[in-house]
Every structure is written in structure tokens, then in C-alpha cells.
């Protein structure tokens, strides 16, 4: 049987793809490693027609044809191959250009006929969707969501590529007046770093806390341990891929899917580049008083142990944002969020004292911090708001005039009636009140009303500790027929090993939990909780032993002393920086439950060897 050429031509193209795939999988890397001495193809026999046949045969996983940008990417790869092996591609450029213009017209006509996707790339992230996603991230207690919230808010405010976020170091941050300045040492359109390096300013948002970048940085710095020697803001092997995976996971949740469906979008419409697109679109079209297009183009183009000294001033304002939004955080974040296990949230008095020092307002004469980045129309709106407030204050005064006039007329009539000897309602009320005052009944009622109850007096006596020198009184909880030091719904801190050590040594004064080292198996409400207590005892006792060996043990330490003890004993938690699959670990930043598993596996392998 003889097949027509029109039938066999696609077959030959398929055969070519099969051969290319098998060749590439086995040998292409070996050939390219020796470039340019070992060319993978015979450039003298290269034919544009064969290349175009392969181009048009490319299909996606679902069988559809790719976009024109995919074809263009393959052409760029061909040009790069010729350049790598110092071959002249000029004779082929004209022919390739003609073929690709025809291919582009074909793809455009197909789009006009309703075939394929008209939009190119990922969609821009709408501001409303951005707010909703940030709120969903804050409402979760997952550590990856804390990282993703900080990563996303800074991608949006910096209007940068997600890949550039991974290169930000602590030394690139500085605080200028009322703004956080971030430098970029390397960007895509400035590979050599020859442009002037001016910081991009980021401002706090006290009105919408869920998208406030300073608040997000404060939560990140409080909950994610900053390890000595870490120079990057987001340390790790591939933080870009980590952000992408968590973003996809968030969009696939019930709440995330509902937000997308409400806007007629799918998970495939949003990607890591959507933040940059959305921020640029929002600042240029979200208001009639948008910033200049040039500015947009330039941009689009001990609470903290081991914190680098270059970031201390940044941490000061990040902490201020956290304490300012404490009510919002307590209402929004889940009870088991890492933030609530940090030392500052375990000392309510200190938290309220810090909040009293934070002020959020517009600039006033005499301020040491100069308000920057405020458009002129904001000042006009402020004066208009003050004028409207003054008018609203005058209205109640006007409304008081009529009752006062009426009351004055009635009083005058009453006086004239009393003079004439006529009994009136007000006169009778005055006589009764006089009798009650003479009988001292009012004084008796006021005395009973102002005296506190014995129960309240007892509570004040038990808990009064204004000087802060008394030993904190731990709570007692009745459940299971016995008195326990923790409630039945007690949960271990969902945080890193250092926070777990603080709970182990100091407890939680705010919740009146004793040091966890004093708990026993009988204090745990379930078998699973008893296992967790056993895991915590195993890990913390390793640190205890090392601290005792170094003669640094303190029986009843403060939070600061507990941190110093942990610095002495943390070397027993030293695990490999690379996992079995070759991925880079985050060391002491991982949860203490994961640390238990890694330490046990390491010690088990040592015993086996």
C-alpha cells in the first residue's frame, strides 16, 4: 500500500519529534556541556522548512495549538543555538521572518474566529480580589500563609516581578521619615546595575490593615525566626516557586474559588505576575488623581532575635504597626496563629504600654518625622473634612436652642403659678425630693451602689500585681473530674523551636499557662495531645541538657533569659541544610513538630551507622 505524500508528511514530522525527544533526553545535555566543540546538529544541513514543520506540529497537553509567543520563543531558542556555536544565521533570518509573519496572521485570524484565548499571559489582579486574598491569608494560621502574605503585599507595593522579591536582602531595607525604602541591586532591564539606585518607598496603610505592608512585615518578623547569617529577607532555595505553589493552593480553597467565580475567573487566570500587572493598572486607573505615569514606569520597571543591625530601624516601625492594629489582629487571625505565641502577645501589659506610644495621624508642626508621598489634594480633603465636622458640631447646638426657649417659658409660667398659690406638677415633685433628702435615703442608695462586692474585692486582692514583682499566678481548670493547670481545649504553640522553648521555660502569662515543662501526661485531654507532649519533652530536654553542660541553666528565667539559654543549646538541633530530595531546608524556621522528626531521624541514622 502506497500512501500519498500529504498523508506521510505529518507522519514524518511526528517521527522527527519522537527522535528529537529521545535524543534530547539521553544525550543533549552531554553534547551541550562540551559546546562549542560538539555541535548537536549539522548547521550546514539545517533547513527552515523542517524547522517550520516542527513548529506547527507543537501541541499543548490538551491537544490545542499554543499561542504565537510560544512559537516566537522557539525561534529565539534557534537563534541562541546558532550564536552559541558561532554560526551565521543571517541567511536564514529573512526566510524565517516571512514564515513567522504568515504564522502570526494565521493565529490572529483563528483568534478572530473564536479559537484559542484572546488574552495573553496572566490576568491583572484586581484590587478588590487582592484585598480578599490578603484577608484570607491573614485568617489562616499556616506558616506558609504568613510568608505568602508578606511576599504578595510587597510584590504589589513594589510593583516588581516575583523573581526580584527573592533577591531582597536585609541590607537593602532602610527607613526614611515615614516610609520604608527598598533598593533593588539587580533587575531584568538593568542586568549590569548601571542605573542610579534609588529606593522604592512603601507606606503603611492604617485604614485597611489586611493590605498594610508594614503590618505584614511586622507579623513576618515576629513569627518567622531570623537566623544568624541569613542575609535575605526571604531565605531558602526557591522562594519564588514556594510563593507560586501557595498562591495556587489559596486559589483552590473554597473561599478562593468563590472569589474567582464571582469575577468570572479561574485559577489559571492568576499567576505570580498578576500582582505586578494589577498594581500598575490600579495606580494608573484607580483614581482621577493618579500618580504621574513616569513614576509608575520607574517603579514597575529583641522582639526580633538575631535581627541584622541594618534592619533595626525598620523593625521599630514594623513593631509599631503590629501594636497599632492589635484589635484587628485579635479579631481576624485564628487563635492558634503563630503571632499570638510570640513574647509580646503573651504580656498584655507590655503590649498596651507599647500601643499607647504609637500615634497615627497626619503631619503636624514640630514632628520629627516628615510626612512624604502625600498628594496635595489630600490636604484639601482634610480641610474639607474639618469644615464638615465643624458644621456637624454646630447643628446640635442649634437643636438645643428650641427646647431651652420652651423650657424657659414653662419655668416662667410655673413661677407665676406658685406665686398665685396654685399647685403644679413641678412644685409637687420638688416637695417629694426634699422629703427624701431629709430622710437620708439618697445617701444610703449611693453608698450601696458604689461599694464593690466581696467577690470583686477578692479577685483584686488575688491578681493585683502593679509592681510586677510577684510570681504570676497560674490558672486552674476543672475537667475530667480533676483540676488541671491547662484547659481542656489547650493547644501547643504552632511555631518554631525557639517559641516552643519560651513556652517550655516561661509559659504564657496572658493565658495563665504554667511552663510546659511542668505538665504531665495526665494534663493532656487526648492521646494525640499526650504524644505531642512526649515529642516536645524529647526536643526540649535535648536543649536543656546542652544548656546544663554549658552551666548556663536558669530555673525561672524571663523571656530574655530563655532566649539566651536557647542560643546556648540550639546547636543540638543542627540538622542538614538539604533534604533527602535535594531541597534546601529553612533550619530553625521550621515548626518544632517537624524539627522533632528531623532530629530523631538524624540520631537514628547515626546509631545505625
| pLDDT at residue 389 tops 90 | no
| 278/267 Cα distance (integer angstroms) | 16
pTM as predicted: 0.63
Q: What is the pLDDT of residue 343?
A: 83
pLDDT band at 10; cut points 50, 70, 90:
low
| pLDDT at residue 238 tops 90 | no
Q: What is the pLDDT of residue 310?
A: 63
| pLDDT at residue 217 tops 90 | yes
141: Cβ–Cβ under 8 A, 6 or more apart, which residues? 333, 334, 336, 337, 338, 494
| pLDDT at residue 565 tops 70 | yes
The share of the chain scoring above pLDDT 90, in percent, equals 16
Side-by-side strand order, sheet with 173-176: 173-176, 179-182, 200-202
The share of the chain scoring above pLDDT 70, in percent, equals 76
Which pLDDT tens digit goes with each residue over 522-563?
999 899 999 999 999 999 999 999 999 988 899 889 888 998
| 146/225 Cα distance (integer angstroms) | 12
CA dihedral 399, 402, 405, 406 (to 10 degrees): -130
Which pLDDT tens digit goes with each residue over 475-489?
888 888 888 889 998
3-state helix, strand, coil in the chain (%, to 5): 60, 5, 35
| pLDDT at residue 303 tops 70 | no
Which pLDDT tens digit goes with each residue over 338-368?
888 888 888 888 888 888 888 877 777 766 6
| 3/326 Cα distance (integer angstroms) | 77
| 106/68 Cα distance (integer angstroms) | 10
Which of 290, 289, 286, 288 lies closest to 278 in space, CA to CA?
286
Give the containing element (helix H, strand E) for 477: strand 477-479
Q: Residue 483 pairs with which residues in a beta bridge?
A: 478
Q: What is the pLDDT of residue 456?
A: 35
Cell numbers found for residue 247: 498562591
Q: What is the pLDDT of residue 306?
A: 57
Q: What is the pLDDT of residue 586?
A: 73
Cell numbers found for residue 407: 423650657
Domains assigned to the chain: 5-112 (no CATH), 127-355 (1.10.443.20), 408-450 (no CATH), 483-577+587-608 (no CATH)
495 within 8 A of 338, measured Cβ to Cβ = yes
Give alpha helix (H) positions in 127-175: 127-138, 143-158, 162-165
pLDDT band at 121; cut points 50, 70, 90:
confident
Other Cβ atoms closer than 10 A to 371:
16
| 564/305 Cα distance (integer angstroms) | 10
Cell numbers found for residue 474: 497560674
| 95/46 Cα distance (integer angstroms) | 13
Average pLDDT along the chain: 79
Cell numbers found for residue 433: 425630693
Overall average pLDDT of the 27-38 stretch: 59
- State how far Cα 123 lies from the chain centre: 22
219: Cβ–Cβ under 8 A, 6 or more apart, which residues? 146, 149, 150, 322, 329, 339
| pLDDT at residue 4 tops 70 | no
172 or 471, greater pLDDT: 172
CA dihedral 268, 272, 274, 275 (to 10 degrees): 150
Query: HSE on the CB side for 6, CA within 13 Å?
Result: 0
Give the containing element (helix H, strand E) for 201: strand 200-202
| pLDDT at residue 468 tops 50 | no
| 438/75 Cα distance (integer angstroms) | 105
Q: What is the pLDDT of residue 157?
A: 92
365: Cβ–Cβ under 8 A, 6 or more apart, which residues? none
pLDDT band at 213; cut points 50, 70, 90:
very high
Amino acid at each position: 500500500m502506497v500512501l500519498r505524500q500529504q498523508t506521510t508528511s505529518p507522519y514524518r514530522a511526528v517521527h522527527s519529534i519522537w527522535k528529537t525527544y529521545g535524543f534530547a533526553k539521553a544525550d543533549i545535555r552531554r553534547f551541550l556541556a562540551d559546546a562549542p566543540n560538539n555541535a548537536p546538529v549539522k548547521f550546514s544541513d539545517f533547513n527552515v522548512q523542517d524547522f517550520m514543520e516542527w513548529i506547527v506540529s507543537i501541541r499543548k497537553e490538551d491537544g490545542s495549538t499554543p499561542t504565537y509567543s510560544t512559537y516566537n520563543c522557539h525561534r529565539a531558542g534557534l537563534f541562541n543555538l546558532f550564536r552559541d556555536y558561532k554560526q551565521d544565521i543571517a541567511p536564514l533570518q529573512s526566510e524565517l521572518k516571512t514564515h513567522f509573519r504568515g504564522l502570526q496572521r494565521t493565529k490572529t485570524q483563528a483568534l478572530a474566529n473564536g479559537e484559542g484565548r484572546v488574552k495573553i499571559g496572566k490576568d491583572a489582579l484586581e484590587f478588590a480580589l487582592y484585598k480578599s486574598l490578603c484577608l484570607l491569608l491573614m485568617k489562616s494560621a499556616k506558616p506558609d500563609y504568613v510568608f505568602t502574605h508578606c511576599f504578595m503585599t510587597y510584590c504589589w507595593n513594589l510593583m516588581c516581578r516575583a523573581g526580584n522579591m527573592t533577591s531582597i536582602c536585609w541590607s537593602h531595607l532602610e527607613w526614611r521619615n515615614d516610609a520604608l525604602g527598598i533598593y533593588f541591586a539587580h533587575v531584568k532591564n538593568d542586568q549590569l546595575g548601571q542605573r542610579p539606585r534609588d529606593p522604592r518607598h512603601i507606606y503603611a496603610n492604617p485604614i485597611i490593615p489586611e493590605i498594610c505592608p508594614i503590618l505584614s512585615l511586622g507579623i513576618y518578623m515576629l513569627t518567622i525566626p531570623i537566623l544568624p547569617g541569613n542575609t535575605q529577607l526571604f531565605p531558602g532555595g526557591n522562594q519564588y516557586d514556594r510563593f507560586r505553589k501557595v498562591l495556587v493552593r489559596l486559589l483552590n480553597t473554597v473561599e478562593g474559588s468563590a472569589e474567582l467565580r464571582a469575577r468570572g475567573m479561574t485559577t489559571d487566570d492568576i499567576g505570580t505576575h498578576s500582582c505586578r500587572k494589577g498594581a500598575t493598572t490600579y495606580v494608573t486607573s484607580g483614581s482621577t488623581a493618579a500618580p504621574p505615569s513616569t513614576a509608575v514606569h520607574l517603579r514597575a520597571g529583641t522582639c526580633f532575635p538575631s535581627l541584622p543591625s541594618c534592619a533595626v530601624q525598620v523593625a521599630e516601625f514594623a513593631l509599631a504597626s503590629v501594636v497599632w492594629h492589635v484589635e484587628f489582629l485579635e479579631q481576624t487571625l485564628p487563635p492558634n496563629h503563630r503571632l499570638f505565641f510570640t513574647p509580646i502577645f503573651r504580656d498584655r501589659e507590655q503590649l498596651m504600654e507599647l500601643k499607647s506610644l504609637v500615634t497615627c495621624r497626619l503631619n503636624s508642626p514640630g514632628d520629627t518625622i516628615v510626612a512624604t508621598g502625600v498628594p496635595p489634594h489630600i490636604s484639601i480633603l482634610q480641610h474639607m473634612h474639618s469644615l464638615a465636622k465643624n458644621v456637624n458640631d454646630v447643628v446640635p447646638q442649634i437643636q438645643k436652642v428650641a427646647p431651652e426657649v420652651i423650657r424657659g417659658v414653662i419655668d416662667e409660667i410655673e413661677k407665676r403659678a406658685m406665686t398665685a398659690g396654685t399647685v403644679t406638677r413641678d412644685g409637687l415633685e420638688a416637695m417629694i425630693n426634699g422629703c427624701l433628702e431629709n430622710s437620708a435615703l439618697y445617701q444610703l442608695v449611693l453608698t450601696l451602689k458604689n461599694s464593690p462586692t466581696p467577690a470583686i474585692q477578692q479577685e483584686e486582692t488575688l491578681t493585683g500585681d502593679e509592681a510586677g514583682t510577684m510570681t504570676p499566678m497560674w490558672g486552674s481548670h476543672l475537667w475530667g473530674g480533676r483540676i488541671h493547670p491547662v484547659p481542656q481545649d489547650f493547644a501547643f504553640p504552632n511555631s518554631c523551636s525557639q517559641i516552643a522553648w519560651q513556652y517550655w521555660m516561661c509559659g504564657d502569662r496572658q493565658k495563665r499557662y504554667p511552663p510546659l515543662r511542668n505538665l504531665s501526661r495526665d494534663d493532656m485531654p487526648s492521646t494525640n495531645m499526650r504524644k505531642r507532649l512526649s515529642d516536645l519533652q524529647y526536643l526540649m530536654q535535648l536543649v536543656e541538657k546542652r544548656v546544663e553542660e554549658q552551666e548556663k541553666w536558669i530555673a525561672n528565667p524571663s523571656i530574655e533569659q530563655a532566649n539566651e539559654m536557647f542560643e546556648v543549646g540550639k546547636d543540638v538541633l543542627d540538622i542538614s541544610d538539604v533534604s533527602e530530595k535535594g531541597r534546601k531546608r529553612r533550619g530553625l524556621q521550621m515548626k518544632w513538630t517537624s524539627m522533632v522528626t528531623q532530629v530523631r531521624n538524624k540520631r537514628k541514622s547515626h546509631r545505625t551507622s
